[in-house]
Amino acid sequence: MPLLIKNGRIITATDDYHADIFCQDETITKIESSIDASELPSDTEVIDASGKYVFPGFIDPHVHIHLPFMGSNAIDDHESASKAALVGGTTTLIEMICPGPDDEPLNAFHEWNTMADKLSVVDYTFHMAVVRFDDLARKQLTQIVNEHGIASFKVFLAYKGALNLNDGDLFDLLTMAKQLGVITTAHCENADAIDAMQSKLIAEGKTGPEWHEPSRPVCVEAEGVSHLATFAELTGAHIYAVHTSCTAAVEAAVAAQLRGVNIWVEAVAPHLTLDETYAQKPDFIGAKYVMSPPLREKSNQATLWNGLKSGVISTIGTDHAPFNFNGQKDMGKDAFTKIPNGIPSVQERIDLIHTFGVLTNKIDLNTMVSACSTKAAQLFGLYPRKGAISIGADADLVVYDPNCKHTPSVNSSYSQVDYNAFDGWELTGRSSVVTVRGQIQARDGEFVGTVGRGNLLKRKPTHF
């Protein structure tokens, strides 16, 4: 069905103006100061966006949906997670495929894609995690890039003995990534330092969730960024530091940028809005707020917001990783090292950034759109199909009510996780209408669309 959005204030990464938008056959076909609905096909649906913003559909560049952990698995499936993303204004997800070290990469890709293809209500693509790098992995990773359009890798400089690569494999992988034109996203910490610190703390009887942050302090993350940047400098590879949490890590990335390293930086909603005191809550409640890198001392948030404002930090994701408090997080009651990591926020991300970023003048609306949509599209080979309001772009649009006040809760969330990290917070701003390729999929916090409508987005490598 054709769609006309009238009287909205269109805000992109660079522009801010009033106009009407007409969408047909899944794309934006007309943008004019005023479009007469009577001249359009009779079945055109008209949305009055008076007093509202119109954004390009938001992109979350860092989510976990199907995520194995110690014999358990993240509690969302691709239907619940994508519905949560959608009603929050996110129309494209980039999920981390995280196989085990004994798994074949190609099998893992098909496993993740099969689940998403049947259930996702938004368009999606993947970062392919590399946790082994033998001859078979090299061959299959090349296939995944060239035949399936997955133009980004993921590496872990953490989780010793489970997910991390040794330095020889890291060098060889980045060399191959450069040859393929693939950008490599990376969890930047120091696996050996964390392992040593965790063993020390547990031996001292320091087992609660409040000891998670001291086991991987800011110096460990900063060293991880520097370490990765050194290898990127040697190979010429393009790299992307995910969920950067602290001043020291941002400074390490800036130092690398200044000497010409091709490095981009991601912040995530939890680090921008929560601090270490949440993970210190008594009676094991702090386990709800355990993620890696951990929540930090509050002063680090100013660096993250200022980095977004200046452009030093490019994107805002979530690192959405939903594990129930009861039955999953509590696996770590006797040792914080066994707490599944993750603070779910895929539904709340945009409203958190609008409330605590835009409305407090830390960033402006254009920066919000850039960091939450356009820059991710550009970095990961989706632009201008995604992340833009322009003729020919996919009609992924968010009509956003900047004055709507609402309170997140477990009951208001489409995620299946049994708690909400932002429960009871008053947020200002909410997506009123969300479209995916021209079809309305959400209205006023409710899913109204089609399960399985989401498509795999095949991308061409661009980071040669």
Structure tokens at 204: 């001292």
pLDDT of residue 163: 65
Q: Domain limits at 317?
A: 56-379
**Which regions of the chain are under pLDDT 70?**
160-163
Structure tokens at 255: 């130092």
- List, for residues 10-27, the tens digit of each pLDDT value: 999 999 999 999 999 999
Residue 17 CB neighbours (<10 A): 11
Structure tokens at 360: 């407090």
Total number of domains constituting the chain: 1
Q: Is residue 171 part of a domain?
A: yes
The answer to whether 121 and 436 have CB atoms below 8 angstroms apart is yes
Taking the C-alpha atoms of residue 395 and residue 383, their distance in angstroms, rounded to an integer, is: 13
The answer to whether 324 and 75 have CB atoms below 8 angstroms apart is yes
Torsion of CA 414, 244, 261, 141, to 10 degrees: -40
Taking the C-alpha atoms of residue 134 and residue 137, their distance in angstroms, rounded to an integer, is: 5
- List, for residues 129-174, the tens digit of each pLDDT value: 999 899 999 999 999 999 999 999 999 987 766 667 889 999 999 9
Q: Is residue 47 part of a domain?
A: no
Q: Is residue 428 part of a domain?
A: no
The answer to whether 152 and 183 have CB atoms below 8 angstroms apart is yes
Report if pTM > 0.85: yes
Is the previous residue joined to 99 through a cis bond, with omega within 30 degrees of 0? no
Q: Is residue 369 part of a domain?
A: yes
Considering only the C-alpha atoms of the chain, give the largest distance between any 2 of them, rounded to a whole number of Å: 75
Q: Is residue 12 part of a domain?
A: no
CA nearest neighbour of 376 among 125, 37, 172, 201 = 125
DSSP E strands, 189-256: 239-241
The CATH number assigned to the domain holding 365 equals: 3.20.20.140
Q: Is residue 259 part of a domain?
A: yes
Q: Is residue 309 part of a domain?
A: yes
